[in-house]
Amino acid sequence: MSRTCPQSAVTARTLGPLSRVDVCGSATVSSAGYHAPVSELPPESSIGSPTPAGDAPLIGKAALIGNAGARSVRGSSRGADCVLLASPNGPSTRRSGPFPKSPGPAQGPQTEPKIPELVEGPLAEVCAPARLSTVDDLGRLAELAADGSGPLVLADAELRISLPAVLDLLDVPGDPTAALVADPRNIEAPRQPEVDLDRATVLRVGVDGRTIESAGSVRHRVGEPNRVSVGLLRVRAADRDRAAELWRTAVDELAGHPELITGNNLFDLALLILVRGGLPLGGQPLGYYDWSRPGRDHSHVGQRGLGSSPWRQRLRSASRLGDGAYSAAVVRPLSRLGTRLALRIGLTPNVITAISLGVGIVAGLLILTGTGWAWVAAAVLLQLALVIDCMDGEVARFTRRFSAFGGWLDGIGDRIKEYLVFAAVAAVGVRDGHSSAWLLAIIAMVIVTARHLEDYAYTDRTTVLRAAGAADRARALLRSILDPVDAGLAADPSARTSLPAPASRNQRISFWVKKIAHVPIAERYLILSLTLLTRQPLWVLIAAIAVSAFALAWTAGGRFLRALKTPDLSASQGAMATSAADRSGELDDQLDVGRLARFAGVVRIPYLICVAVMIGCWLAMILGICLGWWLLTLIAAVVLIFAVGGTLRAPLVHGLGWLALPLVWIAEAAVISALLADEVAGLLIFVTLAAIAYRRYELIYSIRLRGRMGPAPLLGLDGRLLLVAVLFAIAQLNGNVVEILSWGLVLLTTETLVEAVTGTLRRWRARPGAVTDTAQANRSPEANRSNEE
C-alpha cells in the first residue's frame, strides 16, 4: 500500500508543546519506508509557524540576514542519498504514515520558527534532488549505503535543527566524511542554554580538534568525552562501500546480542560502528544554534541558540573562536554589525580585505603628517581597519566562500598595515629629533615578525607529531562493538565517562588572562591606537616593542620549557623523521635556506652544537660590522654557510627545531641592522628587512594555504648575509662606505622582492588541482581565512 504526497502539500503539525511546519515534495510512501525524490523547499522566510508564547514574532525579512545570495545553498551535497534513522524501540513523535494534505499555504503574517523543524526539511533543501529514506535497522542501512554513488547523509529521525545549522557540514567546499558535534564545554565559547545534556550521547574528539576518536551510545561508554553528538553525519562517496561493509558486519556481530540494540539509538549505533571500525571521521563543530534530539531515558536533549532566528544564529556563529579578549569583547560585536551590512549588499571577503587594507594605509599616511588631529584620526582608523578585518572572515564563513588566496591576502594585508604604522611613526620621530626612532621601529617589526614565525613553526611541528602518531593511535582505538567500553576506558576504568563540568569563574579568568598575555593582533592594535593619542613617537614604538617582546618570551619560553620536560626528545625526532616524506611545505621549506647552504650542507651536524656555531657567526658579523673589521665579517659569513647547511638541511627533525625559524630571522635582521653603525639610512634598512619579512610571510602563507614551495631560493638567508658581508668588505676597502652599502641594500631589497613576487605569481597562477600537500588537502576551510595569528 502506498500513497502520494502532493508537491504542494504544506502541513502544520503539533509536537507536544512545540510547533513546526512540514513541507513535502513529490514523494511515495510505502510500508518499506519513506523513499522520495524531494524537490527543493521554499525559503524559510515563506514558511509559516506560530511563535512560542512569550517570544515576539519575527515578521518577514526581519528574521533573515543578508541577501538571497548570501543565504543560498551552494550544492556541495546536492544529489546525496539522505537516510533518516528511526530507533525501532524508542518513542517517536514522528508521523506513522504519509504527510496529510493541507488546504494550502499558511495565511497571514509570515514568521520564521523559533523552534527548528525536523531534519528532513533542511536535508531536502541542501541535498535536493535526493532519495530520502527512513530505516529502522542496520541491515537496510547497509543496503542503502552500498546502493549509490554520491554522498550519503544520515540523520537521527527525531533531530530538530534549522537549515543554517547544517550548512557547515553539508554545504561546504570539499568532500568531508564528518559528523556534526557540539562543544558545550569550550571555555572560550559563549554559554548556550542547555537541555539535559548530561543525558546526551557523548563523543571524544582528538587533540587535533577534528578527528572523532570514540563514540558512545546508550549501551557504550566513552572515556574522557569532550563533545556531544548532534545526530547528523555525512559520508563521502569514496567511503560508502567501507561504511556499508562495517554496518553489514555489525549486523552479524549483533545478532546474538539483542541487549546492545534494545533501547539503543540507531544513529548513535551506526556512528559508533564506523568509529570503532576505523573509518576516519571528522567532527564538524556546530555553531550557536537551536537543536534537539533524543537522549537517554526517553528524554530530549539539546541547546538553545544565540539569536532570535536561525540566520541570526548563523551570523553569531560566523565569529570564530581563537581571538584575544579585546577582540572577543569589543571588536567582534562591532564587526558583526558590519558583516550584516556586507551580507546585505553583497560584498565579497576579498573586497572587504582590500577595504581594510585601504583604511590602514590611510591611517599610516595620517600618522606621517605628524599633526595631533591626524594622529587621533589615525588611532580611530586603526580600530576601524581592525573591525573591517574581522568582517572578511565572518562573511566567508557565513557564505562558505572560502579561498586560499583570500587567506593569503588577509595575512599579508595585516602585516602591511602594522609595518606602515611603525615606519610612519619612526619617520615622524626622526623629524622631531629622535635619532633612535628607526632603530626602535626596526626592533618592533623584528619582534612582531619573530612572534609570528615562532607560532607558525611550532604549529607545524606539533602537526607533524600528531600526524606521525595518528596511525598508531587509530590502531589502538579499534575495538569490537560488542565491548561496552572504549579503548581509553578499558585502559583506565577510573576515567571520566560524562562531559566535564562547566568552567568555573576562576578558570575562565585564568584562560582569558593567558590569552591577553599572547598579545594577539587586536591587543596590539589597541596599544598602537592608545599610544598614538599621546603624539609621542618613541612611546608608540617602545610600547609596541614591550608588549610584543613579552608575548614572544611568554609563548616561546613556555614551549621551550615544556619541550625540555619531554622524557625523550629523540622520540619526537623519530616521529618527525618518519613523516618527512609527507612534509613538503612544512618547517623545512619555511626556513628559506639558499642554494649555497644546500650545496654546502652535505653532512648533517648535531643541531644544538651547530646552533651555537651559527650564533657565534652572527655575533662575529655584528661585531665586525660595528668595529669595521671586514675580514672577520667575511670569514664569519662563509663559516655560517656551512653551519646553516649542516644544521637546517631537510628534514629538520630535532625536538627543538621549531625555534630555528624565529632564530634565523632575528639573527639576519640583527646583522643587517648593524649597518646603522655605518650611518646607513634607517629607512633603507627598515625597507630591506620589510622586504625579507614579506618574503618569509609570503612563503609561509603560500605553503600553508596553497601547498607549494616553488624552486629553491636564489640567495636565501645564507646568501643574503654573505652578500652583506661582501658589500661591507668592498665598502671598507673602497672607503665610500655609506654609498656602497646603501646601493647594496637597494640591490638586496630588489632581489628579495622580485623573488618573492615572482614566487607569489607562480604559486597562485598554477592550477589548484596541482596541490599535493596532504595537510592542505585536509585542512578545514576556515583555516584559509584568518585575521588572527
Q: In this predicted structure, what is the pLDDT of residue 657?
A: 85
CA dist., res. 42 & res. 164, Å (int): 14
Please give the Cα distance from 84 to 202 (Å, whole number).
20
Q: What is the mean pLDDT of residues 371-383?
A: 96
Beta bridge partners of 359: none
pLDDT at 750 over 60: yes
- Which are the contacts of 462, defined by CB distance < 8 A and separation ≥ 6? none
Q: Residues 298, 92: contact at Cβ < 8 Å?
A: no
Say if residue 317's pLDDT is above 50.
yes
Position with higher pLDDT, 61 vs 411: 411
Residue 94 near residue 79, CB atoms below 8 Å: no
Domain residue extents for the chain: 2-50+57-317, 325-784
Are 178 and 495 a contacting pair, CB within 8 Å? no
C-alpha separations of 275 from 198, 204, 322 in Å: 22, 11, 28
Taking residues 251-255, report their average pLDDT: 89
* Helix H or strand E segment including 302: strand 300-303
Q: Is the pLDDT of residue 95 over 70?
A: no
Is domain 2-50+57-317 classified as CATH 3.40.50? Answer: no
Residues in the chain: 789
The answer to whether 2-50+57-317 and 325-784 have equal CATH topology is: no
pLDDT digits (tens, 9 = 90+) for 320-340: 888 889 999 999 999 999 999
503 or 777: which leads in pLDDT: 503
Per-residue confidence band for 760, with pLDDT thresholds at 50, 70 and 90: confident
Q: Is 220 helix (H, G, I), strand (E, B) or coil?
A: strand
Nearest CA-CA partner of 236 in 301, 289, 282, 199: 282
53-77: average pLDDT:
69
Measured distance between the N- and C-terminal CA atoms of the chain, rounded to whole angstroms: 61
Task: Calculate the alpha carbon distances from 782 to 71, 505, 583, 653 in Å.
Answer: 18, 29, 21, 28
In SS3 terms, 148-173 reads as CCCCEEEEECCCEECHHHHHHHHCCC
Residue 272: per-residue pLDDT: 95
DSSP 76-102: TTTT-EEEEE--TTS---S-SSSPPP-
**pLDDT recorded at residue 215:** 93
Evaluate if residue 27 carries a pLDDT over 60.
no
Mean pLDDT lowest among 151-155, 389-393, 551-555, 676-680: 676-680
Instruction: Tell me what pLDDT residue 686 has.
Output: 96
CA distance 691 to 449: 12
Produce one character per residue of 454-487: b if its CB has 16 or more CB atoms within 10 Å, e if not.
bbbbbebbebbbbbbbeeeeeeebebebeeebbb
What CA–CA distance (Å, rounded) separates 187 from 536?
A: 39
Q: At a CB cut-off of 8 Å and minimum separation 6, what does 66 contact?
A: 311, 340, 343, 344, 398, 399
Q: Of 348 and 100, which is predicted with more confidence?
A: 348
Highest mean pLDDT pick, 129-138, 249-258, 446-455, 489-498: 446-455
Q: Which of 697, 323, 782 is nearest to 519 (CA)?
A: 323
At the fourth CATH level, the homologous superfamily of domain 325-784 is CDP-alcohol phosphotransferase transmembrane (TM) domain (1.20.120.1760)
All three cell numbers of 170: 553539508
Q: What is the CA radius of gyration of the chain?
A: 30
378 band by pLDDT with thresholds 50, 70 and 90: very high
Q: Average pLDDT, stretch 531-550?
A: 96
Q: What is the pLDDT of residues 192-234, one digit of tens each?
A: 999 989 999 999 998 888 899 999 999 899 999 999 999 999 9
Closest C-alpha among 700, 630, 422, 453 to residue 540 = 422
pLDDT tens digit sequence for 75-94: 888 889 999 998 765 544 44
Q: Copy the grid coordinates of residue 232.
A: 547528523
| Mean pLDDT value across residues 536-557 | 95
Looking at every residue in the chain, the average pLDDT score rounds to 81
The secondary structure element, H or E, covering residue 578 is helix 569-578
Report the alpha-carbon distance of residue 101 to residue 98 in Å, rounded: 9
Higher pLDDT, 28 or 196: 196
Mean pLDDT of the region 232-255 = 94
Please state, in angstroms and rounded to a whole number, the distance separating the CA atoms of residues 563 and 559: 6
Residue 122, classed as helix, strand or coil, is: helix
Distance, in Å, from the CA atom of 201 to the CA atom of 265, rounded to the nearest integer, reads 9
Spatial contact of 74 and 169, defined as CB atoms under 8 Å apart:
no
How many other CB atoms are there within 10 angstroms of residue 364's CB atom? 22
Q: CA torsion, points 751, 757, 759, 760, in degrees to nearest 10?
A: 160
Per the model's pLDDT, the better-predicted residue between 40 and 118 turns out to be 118
Vertex 286 angle, CA 21 and 44, to 5° = 25
Q: Identify the band that residue 477 occupies on the pLDDT scale cut at 50, 70 and 90.
A: low
Summarised one tens digit per residue, pLDDT across range 149-165 is: 889 999 999 999 999 99
